[in-house]
Amino acid sequence: MDSLFLLIPLSIVLIGLVAVLFLWAVRSGQFDDLEGPAHDILNDDEVASNDPNVKSNDENTTNPRLKD
């Protein structure tokens, strides 16, 4: 019975903490667009890179930094 005096307030504090974290996540926009990043991965065919050392898979594209 003595353990209940510790476990019940501890569980109430834990539930309050989870509720605060959930409300923070909702207000900060964490759940706004759940499917967008998944579709972006599928549509990400062309990678734009500013690094001149990165080679492109497409031989028709040229990097303007490499031109003399």
Rounded to whole angstroms, the Cα distance separating 30 from 52 reads: 35
Q: Global pTM?
A: 0.50
Decide: 53 and 65 in contact? Cβ < 8 Å.
no
DSSP letters spanning 10-42: HHHHHHHHHHHHHHHHHHTTTTS-SSHHHHHHH
Per-residue pLDDT of 2-57, as tens digits, reads: 899 999 999 999 999 999 999 999 999 888 888 887 788 887 666 556 666 666 55
- Check if the beta carbon of residue 46 is closer than 8 Å to that of residue 40: no
How far apart are the C-alpha atoms of 6 and 13, rounded to whole Å?
Answer: 11
